[in-house]
Structure 1
Amino acid sequence: TYPEYYKYYGQREFTWNKISQKNRNPLLFDYPGADGMKTGYTKDAGYGLVGSAIRDGRRLVLVVAGARSLDERRLEAQKILDWGFKQFRPIEIYGANDRVGRARVWGGEAHWVDLVTPKAIRLMLSPTEQQKVTVDLHYTGPLLAPVKAGAEAGSIQFNLEGRTVAEFPIETANEIASVSSMWLKAWDSLLYMIFGG
């Protein structure tokens, strides 16, 4: 979030009013792709760092807290980033316009409409997490005809160990026109009142 601020986080040095200040983030000077963010120190918490780096279009953000020295903070941050870039790869779960489910349409020329992902869905997952991730589909129903193609119809959630780690919109794949027959409209309305969405 707030990518516009990385131009500030990643500055190695800043001069204002003829006074120069060097950035204290060690990653900016010796870790390829590092571009942020903030260092800190307190007597109780020790040395800390919120860092970030980009490699092959992937951004990782890390937190180091409780380091006993500047060197330990730097080395631990580098180890965490190296591990993260090695272990976590973007996995394409669904491509753009992949069908993920279908929803009941009431009062339409067709009774069902496919639900699709408007864009490709990629998640950063470790090999272990790839085996554990679960998917929940939530659609905003009932869908009443006419239904437009590309209308937002709900969301697809990805969960790990009981918590949602990502959520993306889903939309209708095609248009469903209203039925023209009054008898069919009445019949579908009756079914809707009995069975609901």
Structure 2
Amino acid sequence: MPSRTDLRPAAQTARRALRLSALAFSALLWALPASAFDTRARAAYILDQTTDTVLLAKNADEAIPPASMSKLMTLYVAFEALRDGRLTLDERLPVSQHAMSYGGSTMFLDTTDRVKVEDLLQGIIVLSGNDACAVIAEALSPDGTEAGFARYMTQRAKQLGMTQSTFANSNGWPAPGHLMSVHDLAILAQHIINDFPQYYPLFSETRFNFDGRAPSNTQNRNPLLSLGIGADGLKTGHTEEAGYGLVGSAKQGDRRVIFVVSGLPSKEARADEAEAIVNWSFRQFAKKTLVHDGTPVAQAKVWMGREPTVDLVPEGDLTLLLPAMSSDDVQAEVVYTGPVHAPITKGQKLADLVFTPEGMGEIRRPLVAANDVPTGGFLVRVQTAVKVLFGRVINGPEGAM
């Protein structure tokens, strides 16, 4: 008699197409494709953070000059240092000749200054201070130089999943090889919001006047903060090569949207585009609970189990984002590698529920076992062996299950 290993079927990817009523299972084949928002930006990425739904992606993974938007990476590393006790908010840092030499947007620091970390952070966020970034960089760099800090930024970015980011400096000053994608910038914004909620309110500050210097340079350049549309961050950017860009976020009700645009021709175009994105994201989509926790969606075949199948259910309530004009019927596909070998534990991930909305990327949500399925007893094993052997006799060795 063949060994038990010989009797096991080859694992196969099982796919089951579903057509479901929106009343019972409102899933997400959008009536409006992502191209319904025709952005003028060279690159753009819009994410509904609450449901982890990408609403738009245009040249999202292209590595392009990020200008001052890359200051968000310097801020993230500084926040980590504060969390770990390597910096304190009231600590005063010296200003080097190198930091003082930066032009563009600055805090007008000089080498006689010793500046509190809290002021430097506000100077970076509100005033986009190139000099403030360099001060932070030199304080945290492994070798005390801004170049060394940039190498660390690049390494840390990769660890955070930012695969298209390479830094040559701390502030986005034009330099060969200083590049990020808008997708990476959105990932970074998510990390700042999720990992450091205690510092995130700094991004909604509209003014900062450091030591009475340059009273005409005290206003946050983020054009959305004063519009009353829930905007609360994050960072603008502009160079001649990069054009005008913005990493933005807005929260309305229990939804948060994060977006990145780059390559716009003017400040006015950036402001108009950003406001249009926020309005489109919140007005054209609505969050709905589509399948409640414990509701079976499909079944998976079980190998050598006390039961021949197991119900597949969502992992908690399945909440997705629907467009305002979505259809009532949707298509989805359950994908799993089966049959699934017993024993199976309730809550064990067994499958994915896959949607492919028109004009958007594939969206997957996990399906888990609704209940335990123990390994079958002696009789189950004998019956399974007979079925397998009978199938091999009829179909040959290649025809077994």
What is the number of residues matched between the two proteins? Answer: 195
| Alignment of structure 1 residues 43-192 onto 2, 5 Å | 43-128=240-325, 134-161=331-358, 164-180=361-377, 182-191=378-387
Contact between 2:245 and 2:264, CA under 8 Å: does it hold in 1?
A: yes
Q: Which has the higher helix share?
A: 2
2:195 alignment partner AA: E
Which residue number in structure 2 is paired with residue 12 of structure 1? Answer: 206
| Deviation of 1:104 (Å) | 0.8
In the aligned structure 2, how far is the partner of 1:25 from the partner of 1:178? Answer: 60
Deviates more, 1:79-88 or 1:62-71: 62-71
| Deviation of 1:60 (Å) | 1.6
Unmatched tracts of structure 2, length 5 or more: 1-189, 392-399
Deviates more, 1:30-39 or 1:109-118: 30-39
Instruction: Give RMSD over aligned pairs.
Output: 3.0
In the aligned structure 2, how far is the partner of 1:45 from the partner of 1:97? Answer: 49
Contact between 2:307 and 2:373, CA under 8 Å: does it hold in 1?
A: yes
Contact between 1:129 and 1:160, CA under 8 Å: does it hold in 2?
A: no
Unmatched tracts of structure 1, length 5 or more: none
Structure having greater relative contact order (Cα 8 Å, sep ≥ 6): 2
TM-score (norm 2): 0.43
Deviates more, 1:123-132 or 1:84-93: 123-132
| Deviation of 1:128 (Å) | 5.0
In the aligned structure 2, how far is the partner of 1:124 from the partner of 1:39? Answer: 28
Specify which of 238, 247, 252 is matched with residue 41 of structure 1. 238
Could you say what secondary structure the match of 2:356 adopts?
strand
Following TM superposition, the consecutive aligned residue runs of length 4 or more in structure 1 with deviations greater than 6 angstroms are: 15-20
Q: Which has the higher strand share?
A: 1
Contact between 1:133 and 1:160, CA under 8 Å: does it hold in 2?
A: no
| Deviation of 1:152 (Å) | 1.4
Which residue number in structure 1 is paired with residue 229 of structure 2? Answer: 32
Contact between 1:101 and 1:114, CA under 8 Å: does it hold in 2?
A: yes
